[in-house]
Structure 1
Amino acid sequence: MVSNEMKMVIAQNCQEYEAKYGISMLSMGTLSESCNNCKNFIKGKCTKGLFDEIMETIRRN
């Protein structure tokens, strides 16, 4: 299972990130930039297929 912190880092490094909500509330804890708050993250999976690739890049660095 991937931590919420890792999902935040992945979202911050994803060029395809699109907030589910019209107003981006980056300073709000539950509405911060995270995979969980991305339009492309459905049922725990990235529909763009970028999640694993970005996570692997982050882990290497």
Structure 2
Amino acid sequence: MASETNTGVPGAVDPRLLEILVCPVSKGPLRYDREAGELVSEKAGLAYPVRDGIPIMLPDEARKLPA
């Protein structure tokens, strides 16, 4: 069974969490890409996966964005 946040959408990231999370590499803001299921750091050029509503904020797990 997929987890739900207070948004009621399975796998969605809690908006309150998005307000406090920053990129661990650049310390800059993150943008949630709901379609891709990723938190995107434009400054670092990385996209962190979100699995079952939990952001995986490890640089080794991040996908490099195309230049």
Query: Considering the TM-score relative to the shorter chain, is it more than 0.5?
Result: no
Q: TM-score range by the shorter chain?
A: under 0.3
Greater helix proportion = 1
Q: Quick one: higher RCO (CA 8 Å, sep 6+), 1 or 2? A: 1
Higher strand share: 2
Normalised TM-score (structure 1): 0.28
